[in-house]
Structure 1
Amino acid sequence: MELYTNLRQGEKGAWLSIATYLVLSSIKLTIGYIGASEALKADGLNNTTDIIASIAVLIGLRIAQIPPDSNHQYGHLRAETVASLVASFIMLIVGLQVLINSIKGLWEPVSTAPSLVTAYVAIGSAVVMYIVYRYNLALSKKIKSAAVKAAAYDNRSDALVSIGTAIGIFGAVFGFPIIDTITALLVALLIIKTAIEIFWEAVQSLTDAFNIEEVETLSVLIRNVDGVIELLDFKGRAHGNMYFIDVTVTVDPYLNVFESHRITEEIEKTITRENRFCQVLVHIEPHIEIIPPANDNKSPTK
């Protein structure tokens, strides 16, 4: 199945992110410690959480490829979402730790300015992460993977964080050391914000939330299918990158079974043309037009 092939290809993006974050976090933490930059160390800790998040995505992609079994008849596609949920908690814990250390730094400021080398490391990291972002974004479009697309946006966020880190370090080097600590505080808030966003998206998926715009788009397409008289009900839920759609429509009650079945097949084709990773269940009901009682304007008998 194409979906499972795409999941295997998506592992390339996860592996690239893991390798990049391992190298960059090691460099940032080492240079940040030697160069006395709290902002660069916070950025390095941010990358360590990204390692964990990328590993979680990789594990989720692996589990999602397991075919359906007796206990998981819809497959294991939601493993990606569960992994994202776990990663969000880990990111939140690290973000809170960086936040606490930054607040302590504001109350106990360090007069020593960070080394200029730490700023160059932050700039180099931003360039590398932008390249990784472009690769993963192109890969996500090629394989239609929401997980890899989310990883790409995380890469872009890290590039922006590194740029902010470099700005803070330059400010500290040129006579304002507290800017370095303030930048570390902002990095911590960004880590927490990203963790909350990932958590909320995962919860939405696990509780069967469905995009309203998707409902409206697909509903219009279904109503335009030849033979459909009325769309009575539309339900949708996401399992990873797969959508499960349940539709109830009315048709001419005098159609035979073959003609009604043709309409269901056309609805399925219409939806899968819009999103090929959909499993559609169509329920057909006879269209019964309710005729209001005639008003004869007769006066009631006294």
Structure 2
Amino acid sequence: MELYTNLRAGEKGAWLSIGTYIILSAAKLIIGYFGSSDALKADGLNNTTDIIASIAVLIGLRISQRPPDDNHQYGHLRAETIASLIASFIMMVVGLQVLVDSITNLWNPIRETPSPLTAYVAIGSAIVMYFVYRYNLSLAKKIGSSAVKAAAYDNRSDALVSIGTAIGIFGAILGFTLLDTITALIVGIIIIKTGIEIFWEAVQTLTDAFDTEESETLSVLIHNVDGVIDLIDFKGRTHGNMMFIEVTVTVNPYLNVWESHQITENIESTVKRFKPYCTVVVHIEPHEFPHPVEDDYHF
């Protein structure tokens, strides 16, 4: 199945992110410590949370490839969402720790000027993460993976954080020593914000929330299918990258079984043209006309 092939291809992006984050976080933490830069150390901690998030995506992609079984008749596609939920908690805890350390340093400042090397490391990290972002974004578009796309946007935010870190360090080097700690404080806030956003998105998916714009678009498509008189019920939910739609439509009550079945086939093909990774379940109801009508609909 093409969906599972794409999930396997998505692992490349996760592995690239993991390897890059391991190298960058180690470099930032070590150089930030010896180079006396709170901002670079905070950025390094930010990358450690990204390692966890990338591993969560990788594990989720692996588990999501398991076929349906007796206990998981819709498959294991939500494993990725659960992994993201766990990663969001870890990110928020790390972000809170960065926040507490930064506030402590603001109240009890240690006036040390960061080494210029720390700024160069931050700039180099931003450049590397930008190229990782471009690769993962291209991969996400190619395979249609929302998880890899989310990872790409996380890569982009990390590049922006590193740029901000470099600016803060250069400011401290020029004499504004407090700017380095303030930058670390901002990085901590960004980590927590990212964790909250991932948490909220995961909760929305796990509680079967469905985008209202998607509902409206798909409802219009279904209502315009030839033979559908009315769309009286629409339900949607997502499992990982897979979308499940259940609809109830009314048709001419004088159609035979084969004609009604053709309408359901047309609905499924119409939705799949718009959303390839979508399973559609259609329930047919006879339309109640104000007055009896003759059978005027045939294929």
> Do the two structures share a fold, i.e. TM-score over 0.5?
yes
Spell out, residue by residue over 1:96-125, the C-alpha distance to the aligned partner (whole angstroms, 9 max, x if none): 000000000100111111011100000000
Amino acid at match of 1:9: A
Amino acid at match of 1:142: K
Match of 1:239 in 2: 239
Q: Aligned partners of 1:221, 1:215: CA distance in 2, in Å?
A: 10
Match of 1:297 in 2: none
Match of 2:79 in 1: 79
Match of 1:278 in 2: 278
Spell out, residue by residue over 1:123-146, the C-alpha distance to the aligned partner (whole angstroms, 9 max, x if none): 000000000000000000000000
Q: Does 1:180 align with 2:185?
A: no
Q: Does 1:196 align with 2:193?
A: no
Amino acid at match of 1:114: P
Amino acid at match of 1:229: I
Spell out, residue by residue over 1:21-63, the C-alpha distance to the aligned partner (whole angstroms, 9 max, x if none): 0000010011101110000000000000100110011000000
Of the two, which has the highest radius of gyration?
1
Structure 1 residue ranges, 4+ long, deviating more than 6 angstroms after superposition: none
1:141-290 alignment, distance < 5 Å? 141-290=141-290
Match of 2:48 in 1: 48
8 Å contact 1:234–1:245 — kept in the other structure?
yes
Q: Aligned partners of 1:130, 1:112: CA distance in 2, in Å?
A: 30
Amino acid at match of 1:137: L
1:242 Cα deviation from its structure 2 partner? 0.4
Q: TM-score, normalised by structure 1?
A: 0.96
Amino acid at match of 2:19: A
8 Å contact 1:110–1:178 — kept in the other structure?
no
Q: Aligned partners of 2:174, 2:205: CA distance in 1, in Å?
A: 47
Q: Does 1:125 align with 2:106?
A: no
Spell out, residue by residue over 1:59-80, the C-alpha distance to the aligned partner (whole angstroms, 9 max, x if none): 0000000000000000000000
1:21-32 alignment, distance < 5 Å? 21-32=21-32
Q: Aligned partners of 1:279, 1:189: CA distance in 2, in Å?
A: 39
- Counterpart of 1:234 in 2: which secondary structure? strand
Spell out, residue by residue over 1:229-284, the C-alpha distance to the aligned partner (whole angstroms, 9 max, x if none): 00000000000000010000000000000000000000000000001100000000
Aligned sequence identity (%): 76
Q: Aligned partners of 2:60, 2:214: CA distance in 1, in Å?
A: 25
Q: Aligned partners of 2:42, 2:226: CA distance in 1, in Å?
A: 59
1:290 Cα deviation from its structure 2 partner? 3.5
Task: Give RMSD over aligned pairs.
Answer: 0.6
Q: Aligned partners of 1:35, 1:193: CA distance in 2, in Å?
A: 27
Q: Aligned partners of 1:209, 1:140: CA distance in 2, in Å?
A: 23
Spell out, residue by residue over 1:138-195, the C-alpha distance to the aligned partner (whole angstroms, 9 max, x if none): 0000000000000000000100000000000000000011000000000000000000
Tell me, which stretches of 5 or more residues in structure 2 are unaligned? Answer: 292-299
Amino acid at match of 2:132: V
1:289 Cα deviation from its structure 2 partner? 2.0
Amino acid at match of 2:4: Y
